[in-house]
Chains A and B, each alone.
Chain A
Amino acid sequence: MTSESYRFTPDPDRVREEMLKPYPAKTRKKREKQIVLNDPDSPPAIGANARTIPGIITQRGCTYAGCRGVVIGPIYDIVHITHGPVGCGYYSWLTRRNLARPAPGQTNFMQYCMSTDMQEDEIIFGGEKKLAAAVREAYALFQPKAISIYATCPIGLIGDDIHAVARQASEELGINVFAFSCEGYKGVSQSAGHHIANNGVFKHIVGRDDTPADGRFRVNILGEYNIGGDAFEIEELFARCGITLTATLSGNVSYDQIARCHTADLNAVMCHRSINYMAEMMETKYGIPWIKVNFIGAGSTAKSLRKIAQYFGDKALSDRVEMVIAQEMQKLKATVDEVKPRCEGRLAALFVGGSRAHHYQDLFQELGMRVVGAGYEFAHRDDYEGRAVLPTIKVDADSRNIEELEVEPDPVRFKARRSPEQLEALKAGGFTFSDYEGMMRQMDKQALVIDDISHHEMDKLIELYRPDVVCCGIKEKYVVEKMGVPCKQLHSYDYGGPYAVFTGAANFYREIDRMVNTRVWKMILPPWQKHPELGARPVFSPKPRKTRETAAAAADGKGRPARSRSARLEAIEPTGEPTC
């Protein structure tokens, strides 16, 4: 046991009170609901997916960011046109680190930012003409398979009919052109944008190509965006296990892959928040069941692989999966053994996104670290408390804004993937479909769970807990680090990664080891601040003169080592007593 393995932590009730203290009454009332103390056995109700309070420094972004930035942006071989003034498109250009490896000769259109760059006249007189012209110009330049159009806030207000423009362009150009009404103000966070994106991808891309992928065990990964190459790692792991990946929505993915993803036999959901809609709709329309998986953390990866193998009920697949798990765990062991003693007992806090604040807790647990607080930026109650609470969530006006597609079984393509008997057997064996148990069940009792954490709350959390590492996003990164605490960005991975599956776990362990043990945090105070006392000045004391013999002895290396002046100065202990 290291001295770090027991750490005093403050009374979480007091921390909560400190967080709420400066808030005006109305603000306090809202925030109270979004800051709760955890009980893993019976998760308390948390306020989530509520409006951000104006004037509070929030982590959140907008609907457009969730739609164009998160869910659809990573489809690399379609052209994405942002309809609006230049900024929205500009900031969503290459900032999300969705890596892609297009086939040779194919273009990665993510390297291009396309916008209608609306000017005042067009705002006044309407931008449909300009949008139509922009789509034509984009086609002339790039001849893509499909073009996707995104509305930004002002577009909704001036009432451009982007869907009509898309329909006309489809007819004119003979390619698939579709549009998303994902104006930033549509929802309370990025989350609304995910939903809008799911609807659009489902309506406009999924199901357009019935050619199944080769392979017996066909799976889609939903909600994996290939930040830092995570999807590459998952692809490779699947290949080794003999699992066929039909499509990843939407990391390292092409339009064609999504067009035929309905031919898979299982949907494995990584980020429940951003893509559960798609999983549900595909199940209804095509009969593909979904399960929740997590490829962050070695334990979770093993569990997820086993679950997929169990679903297919094939002995050879299960054996191969077990073999791969055993090999990988063996490889990982050396890293864990080396790193864990240096990290054990340290404290972490995670406030980010809609799934990572949960998924990454696995990795910290594997390092023996304690999560003292966590929360999402834009998740809903089910992501905290588990899907069991879904029937009790009140649909508010903001959520009602977002279209719920009426989905029915496809008369031709619907196919139950498992027989009723198979399903019964699986369920009897403890297998759960369509379920996510949420973050809170995994967290300690009394840990702080904070939804849409504000700057002030984060500040208090760090001041009172002094965690060894905090995970959040770019806007918080340097705020946290200025407090002398390392911060790991979990949106962009600080330009590192991958962190998925076993190989990624090793990367993350090393990264956390680096962060919590790096020397730099101990160098913040200069020595004179640590010991401000004035030391004694050096005093001249006559020394016996060097004779030839002593000099020669020193040169032989036998004599007393010559001490430099600075070495002598260092040797003087500060006494605080001036000598003159």
Chain B
Amino acid sequence: MLNSTTSHHTERQALRVNPAKTCQPIGAMYAALGIHNCLPHSHGSQGCCAYHRSHLTRHFKEPVMATTSSFTEGASVFGGLANMTQALTNIFSIYQPDVVAVHTTCLSEVIGDDLPMMFKKFREDGKLPPGKHLIHANTPSFQGSHITGFANMTTAMVRYLCEKSGEVCDRFNLLPGYLDPADMREVKRLAAGIGARFVMFPDTSDVLDGPQTGRFQMYPQGGATVEEIRSAGDGFATLALGFWASEPAAKELEHKCEVPYELVELPIGLGATDAFVDAVRRLAATEVPGEIERERGQLIDLMSDMSQYLHEKRVAVFGDPDHVIPLVRFLVELGMRPVHVVTGTPGKAFETNVRQLLGPAGAAAKVRAGEDLLSLHQWIKAEPVDLLIGNTYGKYIARAEDNLPFVRFGFPILDRVAHRLFPTVGYRGAMRLVAGITDALLDKKDRECPEEFFELVQ
């Protein structure tokens, strides 16, 4: 397994090996699925769209519907106007969405296709059916990562759809960030439990975690409606979760509709969930109900019960920046020692943030943004860890390193199912994480320890 990887780490200038990120459009496609009755459209060659749909499908095990402009050589030379017009005509007559959310690919970016101009022409030619919306985001993959793409499409929702009517309503806006549907649902449950009134977008719960009913729905019941997104312009504030995925849209909303925003981390682990719950409480001007405090108490109880198995354990973590930062915070809260922390998405803020969380004790830790899994693996080989946390691709490292305990976390998870249904955010999600981590550590011990140390009770 990965047997050309050695403990010798060299800085590479040009070659990316085993990336810890992917490209913008997949994130844009995912965000667009969080609008009700919306069809994501990929403007470029069809391969990108096929790849993005396939990968999202592998992660969610759900239908992921999207269309493409299917560029061939001609469009690549003369531009994609004809393809776009034909695509939109087909989409509105065959699939009848309320919104078509277009994102670019590297190809249409390099060509320099002007999407607003194309939309304008489509509209002026009378081809846009009444009441339908076109929105777009530029998502060049030679910048940022899939997280950037998600942020760009969320920002496009604000840019195209949010409006300020002048009447501020008693609701705030919630931007959930690049979360799984189960996590989005949990975020809503917590906020609603606190008694908040809010509009959340994008919202992929009930879109990508649908039930089996024997009926396929092109547009499942979930997703934020155009009306809801529009009304975000009248919200009294925005609560944005995650600097990378949500802040750009929050800023845009502030700029466009004068809605001030507050930024918190994704509610992963104790401290970050506390901050989220507290922010919602303040915005909703209410009190945190006993039920949620009880959940918090259960988490603390679990943390203290399991502390002996976690204390000072060395951990390697990789994933998306908005996820990894609160996760590192949580690992520190659990008394664990994150020693290698990697995200593929570029951004210096990541390193500063994680270093702060690690404090002086973590001065020797490797913390890197814009890094890949080959480097992470080399570091692990040179300075071994007790636990690896990251997306499915981590399983190759885990196996190469003598079945290193491995907890799947983040995007994508291609080989297990729990993430589809059970959240990792909020206090309950944190409990699931603790259970996952202790299971991984104890399973290894149970499989490998000498028989005399094999224990019935732990």
Contacts and interface: CB of A to CB of B under 8 A. Distances in A.
Contact of A131 (B14, B23, B142): B14
B106 A153 contact: yes
A483 B215 contact: yes
B377 to A, nearest CB: 10
Contacts of B95: 57, 456
A86 B90 contact: no
B90 A119 contact: no
B69 A118 contact: no
Contact of B94 (A56, A152, A481, A524): A56
Contact of A53 (B22, B58, B73, B90): B90
B312 to A, nearest CB: 32
Given A65-B51, A86-B16, A112-B18, A152 B212 contact: no
Nearest to B50: A61
Contact of B2 (A22, A55, A84, A112): A112
B365 interface: no
Contact of B68 (A54, A95, A154): A54
Interface residues of A, number: 84
Contacts of A251: none
B438 interface: no
Chain B interface category by residue count = 35 or more
A62 B59 CA distance: 21
Contacts of B86: 26, 53-55
Given A116-B15, A398-B73, A62 B90 contact: no
B14 A134 contact: yes
Given A86-B23, A111-B1, A478-B57, A130 B14 contact: yes
B314 to A, nearest CB: 24
A525 B90 contact: no
Contact of B15 (A23, A81, A481): A81
Given A123-B106, A524-B213, 18 more contacts: A54-B87, A55-B68, A55-B91, A60-B50, A61-B46, A87-B48, A93-B393, A113-B18, A115-B19, A122-B142, A123-B110, A136-B14, A184-B45, A185-B76, A398-B72, A473-B54, A474-B57, A482-B210
A142 interface: yes
Contacts of B14: 116, 130-131, 133-134, 136-137
22 contacts: A55-B89, A55-B94, A57-B95, A60-B50, A61-B51, A62-B47, A64-B47, A65-B50, A85-B140, A85-B141, A87-B22, A111-B2, A115-B15, A117-B16, A117-B19, A119-B143, A140-B10, A154-B142, A184-B107, A188-B72, A473-B54, A483-B216
Of B1, B16, B25, which is in contact with the most chain A CB atoms at under 10 Å from its CB?
B16
A62 B50 contact: yes
Contacts of B396: 111
A306 interface: no
A109 interface: yes
Contacts of A483: 214-216
B368 interface: no
Contact of A137 (B15, B51, B57): B15
A114 B16 contact: yes
Contacts of A87: 22-26, 48, 51, 106, 141
A479 interface: yes
Given A58-B46, A84-B106, A87-B141, A133 B17 contact: no
Nearest to B16: A117
Interface of A: 22-24, 26-27, 51-65, 81, 84-93, 95, 107, 109, 111-120, 122-123, 130-131, 133-134, 136-138, 140-142, 152-154, 156-158, 184-188, 398, 401, 455-456, 459, 473-475, 477-479, 481-484, 524-525
Top 10 nearest A-B pairs (CB, nearest first) are: A62-B47, A87-B23, A55-B87, A55-B90, A133-B14, A484-B214, A117-B16, A91-B51, A85-B141, A54-B87
Contacts of B393: 93
Contact of B215 (A90, A478, A482): A482
A277 B70 CA distance: 25
A120 B143 contact: yes
Contacts of A92: 51
B47 A118 contact: no
B73 A401 contact: yes
Chain B CB within 10 Å, residue with most, of A120, A133, A482, A525: A482
B73 A185 contact: yes
Contacts of A188: 72
Interface in B1-23: 1-4, 10, 12-19, 21-23
